[in-house]
Amino acid sequence: QKEVEQNSGPLSVPEGAIASLNCTYSDRGSQSFFWYRQYSGKSPELIMSIYSNGDKEDGRFTAQLNKASQYVSLLIRDSQPSDSATYLCAVSSGGSNYKLTFGKGTLLTVNP
């Protein structure tokens, strides 16, 4: 059974701080890694994707991937109250039967 594990939180940070979200996965064949943000009552929206080891930066967001450790993280710099949401880590092994396996999400609260 392929699994994706996240700290369920809640994670609470003050406005302007760095929020760090972590995710581990069990399938060593995983090739694609995604972070989705989900506001309460809304659908998941993609905020970052990463496919190779190292860091990938997009604005205030940085995704980090370490395939040897089967670990992917998301850093949010200068956190804003509008970043308060559930963050879902998703992993795919690719192939013809492409599907995403999601973690249970981490609830982030940014306090003004």
Partner 1 sequence: DTAVSQTPKYLVTQMGNDKSIKCEQNLGHDTMYWYKQDSKKFLKIMFSYNNKELIINETVPNRFSPKSPDKAHLNLHINSLELGDSAVYFCASRPGTSGSQQFFGPGTRLTVL
Residues of this chain that interact with partner 1 (CB under 8 A) are: 31-32, 34, 38, 42-46, 49, 51, 86, 88, 92, 94-102, 104-105
Q: Looking at beta carbons only, is 16 or 94 nearer to partner 1? A: 94
Judged by beta carbon, residue 38 or residue 109, the one nearer partner 1 is: 38
The DSSP bridge partners found for residue 66 are 71
Smallest gap from Cβ 93 to partner 1, in A, equals 10
Q: What is the DSSP string of 56-86?
A: EEETTEEEEEETTTTEEEEEESS--GGG-EE
Give min distance, CB of 58 to partner 1, in A.
Answer: 13
Q: Cα Rg for the chain, rounded, in angstroms? A: 14
- Select 17 or 109, whichever has its Cβ closest to partner 1: 109
Distance from C-alpha of 29 to C-alpha of 84, rounded to nearest angstrom: 32
